[in-house]
């Protein structure tokens, strides 16, 4: 069943489309080259209400639904995938987890500032030896009076260097598996939290990805998010929403590559006519458009399920799995249609090709999405 967009959802989509194509897109290639963090874009997105999209107005948010949010996010990704990933982790995982598990004090202290975009959120779950299997993380949080003391290293953390507030998971009880993990809100200026190695990435080069090192990092007990032992659940529910966000990023980049390929195919002449007149190209365009539409419907239906308060774990994984694999097929075809020009940096498809590659990896690899989907079907729980 396709999702019927409301007038408000369409209006939000148009507004973000106009803003991001006019303001964000023109500097995307430069950011890819210089690795400059898109602070300016994010500040403007914050002013327009897109950094606390699903946060209620009483906490400075826009109170929009998830459908509006994913439409907005895919428009930002169309213009700049680096800006989109920061927006995605911030909204889908950090703000949402605070809304879901934060108490009133934490919402006032952290969510209100995050929702304005004046501080950016990061989410630190992954470790050097715990990626797909976060239960085996070794960062520890030991209680010491009114504080916890955190020690350990987190890896591949999106926005690690530029975030103001970080949700960090750590083991509070080694004898328990996932129930021994807790979550903490850590200010990035905490002297016990240092940014380590900054990765030099293939794509999404405007977004920083780095290690975070916790060395006797003292976190007040009141900054524990949720109860002790709820950290894994907080991460998993956050990732459910996050994965719909990755589907949105995939859709945005796919659409950008598709539009570039269509206009190039109409302009480029070979054998005395535009290459769009050749069946080989026409069929590629037909397949690309069909796959993009299928991804969009999966993304919207997962978002609508979340908005209706339904269990959306399986649908989110399906949307993420299909859209992230789809965009990698689309960028490859778009590059092929461009021929030699697709292989040089003068044309944006080369950047789209690199940016899309991580979508099948972060927020759960394609293999993990297949684990989630098949587990939920075969255990007869959370069946779509």
Contact by Cβ (8 Å): 27, 42:
no
Q: Is 195 in the site for ligand CAA (CB under 6 A)?
A: no
CB of 144 to ligand CAA, least distance (A): 28
Entry field: residues in the chain: 384
CB-nearer residue toward ligand CAA: 78 or 362? 362
Contact by Cβ (8 Å): 166, 186:
yes
CA distances from 102 to 128, 160, 162, 185 (A): 28, 21, 22, 10
Annotated active-site residue in 40, 228, 363, 367: 363
CB-nearer residue toward ligand CAA: 96 or 240? 240
Instruction: For residue 164, give every residue at least 6 positions away whose Cβ sits within 8 Å of its Cβ, in sequence order, or none.
Output: 113, 114, 118, 119, 120, 121, 187, 188
Residue from 15, 29, 233, 285 touching ligand CAA (CB under 6 A): that is: 233
Burial class (CB in 10 A: 0-12, 13-18, 19+), 267: exposed
CB of 327 to ligand CAA, least distance (A): 15
Burial class (CB in 10 A: 0-12, 13-18, 19+), 344: exposed
Residue from 82, 83, 137, 158 touching ligand CAA (CB under 6 A): that is: 158
Residue from 12, 54, 80, 89 touching ligand CAA (CB under 6 A): that is: 89
Residue from 28, 125, 292, 304 touching ligand CAA (CB under 6 A): that is: 125
CB of 285 to ligand CAA, least distance (A): 31
Residue from 134, 180, 231, 241 touching ligand CAA (CB under 6 A): that is: 134
CB of 361 to ligand CAA, least distance (A): 8
Burial class (CB in 10 A: 0-12, 13-18, 19+), 208: buried
Query: Residues 349 to 368: which contact ligand CAA by CB under 6 A?
Result: 362-364, 368
Integer-rounded Cα radius of gyration of the chain: 21
SS (H, E, C) 46-112: HHCCCCCCCCCHHHCCCCCCHHHHHHHHHHHHHHCHHHHHHHHHHHHHHHHHHHHHCCHHHHHHHHH
CB of 340 to ligand CAA, least distance (A): 33
CB of 154 to ligand CAA, least distance (A): 10
Residue from 14, 132, 216, 263 touching ligand CAA (CB under 6 A): that is: 132
* 363 in active site: yes
Residue from 50, 232, 258, 264 touching ligand CAA (CB under 6 A): that is: 232
Q: Is 182 in the site for ligand CAA (CB under 6 A)?
A: no
Which alpha helices (DSSP H) does the chain contain, by range? 7-19, 28-34, 39-47, 66-79, 81-88, 96-101, 104-106, 112-116, 231-267, 279-307, 313-338, 349-356, 366-378
CB-nearer residue toward ligand CAA: 9 or 315? 315
CB of 36 to ligand CAA, least distance (A): 19
Choose the binding region for ligand CAA from 234-242, 293-301, 327-335, 347-355 (rule: CB under 6 A): 234-242
CB-nearer residue toward ligand CAA: 12 or 124? 124
3-state secondary structure of 229: coil
Q: Show which residues are catalytic.
A: 363
Give the binding site for ligand CAA (CB under 6 A). Answer: 89, 123, 125-126, 132-135, 158, 178, 232-233, 236-237, 239-240, 313, 362-364, 368, 371-372
């Amino acid at each position: 069943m396709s999702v019927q967009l409301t007038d408000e959802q369409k209006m939000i989509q148009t507004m973000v489309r106009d803003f991001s194509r006019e303001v964000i897109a023109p500097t995307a290639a430069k950011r890819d080259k210089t690795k400059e963090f898109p602070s300016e874009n994010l500040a403007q997105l914050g002013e327009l209400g897109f950094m606390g999209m699903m946060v209620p107005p009483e906490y400075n948010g826009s109170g929009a639904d998830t459908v509006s949010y994913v439409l907005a996010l895919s428009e930002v990704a169309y213009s700049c995938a680096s800006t989109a990933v920061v927006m995605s982790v911030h909204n889908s995982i950090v703000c949402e987890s605070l809304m879901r598990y934060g108490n009133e004090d934490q919402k006032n202290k952290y969510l209100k500032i995050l929702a304005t975009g004046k501080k950016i959120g990061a989410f630190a779950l992954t470790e050097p030896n715990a990626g797909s299997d976060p239960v085996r993380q070794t960062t520890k949080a030991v209680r010491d009076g009114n504080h916890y003391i955190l020690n350990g290293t987190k890896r591949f953390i999106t926005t690690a260097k530029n975030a103001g507030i970080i949700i960090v998971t750590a083991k509070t009880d080694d004898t328990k598996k996932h129930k021994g993990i807790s979550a903490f809100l850590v200010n990035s200026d905490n002297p016990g939290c240092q940014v380590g190695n900054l990765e030099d990435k293939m794509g999404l080069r405007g977004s920083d990805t780095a290690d975070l090192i916790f060395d006797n990092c003292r976190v007040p007990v009141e900054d524990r998010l949720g109860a002790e032992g709820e950290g894994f659940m907080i991460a998993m529910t956050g990732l459910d929403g996050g994965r719909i966000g990755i589907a949105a990023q995939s859709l945005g980049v796919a659409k950008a590559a598709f539009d570039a390929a269509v206009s190039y195919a109409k302009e480029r002449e070979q054998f005395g006519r535009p290459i769009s007149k050749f069946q080989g190209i026409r069929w590629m365009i037909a397949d690309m458009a069909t796959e993009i539409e299928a991804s969009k419907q999966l993304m919207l239906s997962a978002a609508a399920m979340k908005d209706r308060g339904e269990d959306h774990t399986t649908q989110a994984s399906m949307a993420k799995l299909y859209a992230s694999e789809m965009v990698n097929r689309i960028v490859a075809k778009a590059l092929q249609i461009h021929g030699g020009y697709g292989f040089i940096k003068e044309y944006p498809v080369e950047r789209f090709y690199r940016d899309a590659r991580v979508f099948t990896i972060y927020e759960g690899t394609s293999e993990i999405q297949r684990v989630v989907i098949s587990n939920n079907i075969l255990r007869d729980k959370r069946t779509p």
